Amino acid sequence: MMQDACDSVASDAGQSQLCPLQAALAAPRSVESYDDFCRVALSLFRFIGAAYATGASDCWEAAYRFADEAPGIADSPLLVARAAALVRILRGGRPCELCFMPPSCRRLSKDEAELMRLLAVARNKQPGELESVVCQFVGSGKEDATTRAVNALACC
């Protein structure tokens, strides 16, 4: 039986799951759709991504300065470290580079939307849901490390 490319597909557990095209279109692609903590994390991801892309230490300094100035952040160096740990794990487990937009951009790249989805799921604390989302985003062998890194960042 053939399915249309955008039909929902039944998973092994019998739950309906969106096809990749529907999932990409359903993901919020604007910064405004996330809470303050997620927007701070997104900016940190972008500064860290720029640091890796350019090798400029100014990007790291900008990440720490941004976290220091963000309201409601108790331990800004720890937050930057946890965001950097997640980016580092993801960079090592993917066949291609992560795509980050400039820090001031209001739109999200596909990779950023996935990172925001991971963070939102971790913050909602639904058992088993994070592992499922992580498996869709990272390659084999990096699921456990990614899950731990996302949980650590979400609890910061």
pLDDT in tens, the chain (156 residues): 333 332 333 334 444 454 544 444 455 566 677 888 989 999 999 999 999 999 999 999 999 999 999 998 989 999 999 999 999 998 886 667 889 999 888 899 999 999 999 999 999 887 688 888 888 888 678 888 999 999 999 988
Print the domain residue range for 72: 29-154
State which H helix or E strand residue 51 sits in. helix 36-54
What is the distance between the alpha carbons of residues 4 and 9, in angstroms, rounded to a whole number? 10
pTM for this entry: 0.77
- Are 136 and 129 within 8 A, CB to CB? no
Establish if 92 belongs to a structural domain: yes
Establish if 65 belongs to a structural domain: yes
What is the distance between the alpha carbons of residues 44 and 51, in angstroms, rounded to a whole number? 10
What is the distance between the alpha carbons of residues 115 and 113, in angstroms, rounded to a whole number? 5
Establish if 16 belongs to a structural domain: no
Establish if 68 belongs to a structural domain: yes
Q: Which residue has the tokens 């500064």?
A: 47
What is the distance between the alpha carbons of residues 41 and 61, in angstroms, rounded to a whole number? 15
**SS3 category, 9:** strand
Q: How many domains is the chain built from?
A: 1
Establish if 20 belongs to a structural domain: no
